[in-house]
């Protein structure tokens, strides 16, 4: 190890470079993760992230594209949701598509057996319909960010990580610890709605940037007028442009961080 470092330092010196410029100084990680799978918003979100060389993180309802899906016509009208053709297209460009349940039930409000069945149905549908889906590498994003110990234990035997409300996993903290282990993770996220969430996102991020570091996960939904607590596409674009200039911050999907 010493020899390797010595060689590295020597070769950097020979190039006239300061070794500090090669040290990983990232102290803050940020994930923006978009739920529910609005077709128009998801394509646009993927484009915005792609323009900055970033991967978008999109979590979809496995039965959202079926006519029978009618969970919440106000916030998730069936005709606005995409289908697995859309998700495969977006995934083929390198973006992350993860499960956000079978039919968007609050899994803590039904019996355990019903919840387990619902989870299995969702993961089975992903295996059949989403190209290259790996259950053991996936992250399950709970509807309504609602979870409990039994559901987590059930899921963490199948998937790599679960995401639920920061109020459940983070207590009073804003951000997650940067994970040293990469499986059986419980990831806490914050979200805001039902109106436009730009101001709240701005505040969450500014507070986080002033903190000593960690991993902030913000849960978003659609863009502009789509879905609960939408973010405006113009603001999202400007936000990424601004954040990418911060040298101690890295913007990543959950999958990229726990890979
Ligand atoms: Zn949702």
Task: Supply the pLDDT for residue 172.
Answer: 82
67 C-alpha to center of ligand 1: Å? 18
Q: Ligand 1 centroid to 210 CA: how many Å? A: 29
Q: How far is CA 7 from CA 2, 12, 90, 224, 242, in A?
A: 9, 8, 43, 52, 36
* 225 Cα–ligand 1 center, Å: 16
User: How far does residue 1's CA lie from ligand 1's centre (Å)?
Assistant: 47
CA of 212 to the centre of ligand 1 (A): 30
Compute the distance from residue 193 Cα to the ligand 1 centre, in Å: 12
- Domains (range + CATH), the chain: 25-257 (3.20.20.370)
Q: Ligand 1: distance of its center to the CA of 192 in Å? A: 12
Quote the ligand 1 centre to 91 CA distance (angstroms).
19
Ligand 1 centroid to 36 CA: how many Å? 5
Is the pTM higher than 0.75? yes
Q: What is the pLDDT of residue 127?
A: 98
Using 50, 70 and 90 to split pLDDT, how confident is the model at 45? very high
13 C-alpha vs ligand 1 centroid, how far in Å?
A: 52
Higher pLDDT among residues 3 and 252, named by residue: 252
- What spacing in Å lies between the alpha carbon of 26 and ligand 1's midpoint? 30
247 Cα: distance to centroid of ligand 1 (angstroms): 32
78-132 pLDDT per residue, tens: 999 999 999 999 999 999 999 999 999 999 999 999 999 999 999 999 999 999 9
Identify the pLDDT of residue 182: 81
Please determine, for residue 143, whether its predicted confidence score (pLDDT) is greater than 60: yes
- Residue 150 Cα to ligand 1 midpoint, Å, equals 20
- What does the mean pLDDT of the chain come to? 91
Distance 17 CA to ligand 1 centre (A): 48
Distance 6 CA to ligand 1 centre (A): 51
């Amino acid at each position: 190890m010493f020899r390797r470092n010595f060689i590295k330092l020597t070769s950097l010196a020979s190039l006239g470079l300061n070794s500090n410029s090669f040290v990983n100084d990232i102290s803050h990680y940020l994930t923006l993760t978009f739920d529910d799978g609005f077709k128009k918003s998801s394509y646009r979100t993927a484009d915005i992230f792609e323009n900055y060389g970033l991967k978008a993180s999109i979590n979809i309802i496995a039965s959202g594209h079926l006519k029978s899906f009618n969970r919440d016509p106000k916030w998730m009208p069936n005709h606005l949701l995409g289908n697995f053709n859309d998700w495969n297209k977006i995934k083929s460009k390198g973006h992350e598509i993860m499960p956000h349940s079978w039919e968007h039930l609050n899994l803590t409000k039904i019996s355990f057996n019903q919840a387990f069945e619902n989870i299995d149905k969702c993961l089975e549908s992903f295996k059949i319909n989403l190209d290259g889906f790996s259950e053991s590498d996936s992250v399950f994003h709970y509807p309504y960010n609602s979870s409990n110990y039994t559901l987590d234990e059930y899921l963490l035997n199948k998937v790599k990580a679960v995401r639920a409300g920061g109020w459940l996993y983070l207590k009073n903290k804003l951000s997650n610890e940067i994970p040293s282990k990469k499986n059986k993770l419980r990831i806490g996220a914050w979200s805001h709605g039902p109106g436009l969430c730009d101001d709240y996102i701005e505040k969450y991020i500014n507070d986080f940037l002033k903190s000593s570091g960690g991993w902030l996960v913000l849960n978003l939904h659609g863009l502009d007028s789509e879905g609960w607590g939408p973010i405006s596409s113009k603001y999202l674009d400007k936000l990424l442009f601004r954040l990418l200039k911060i040298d101690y911050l890295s913007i990543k999907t959950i999958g990229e961080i726990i890979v």
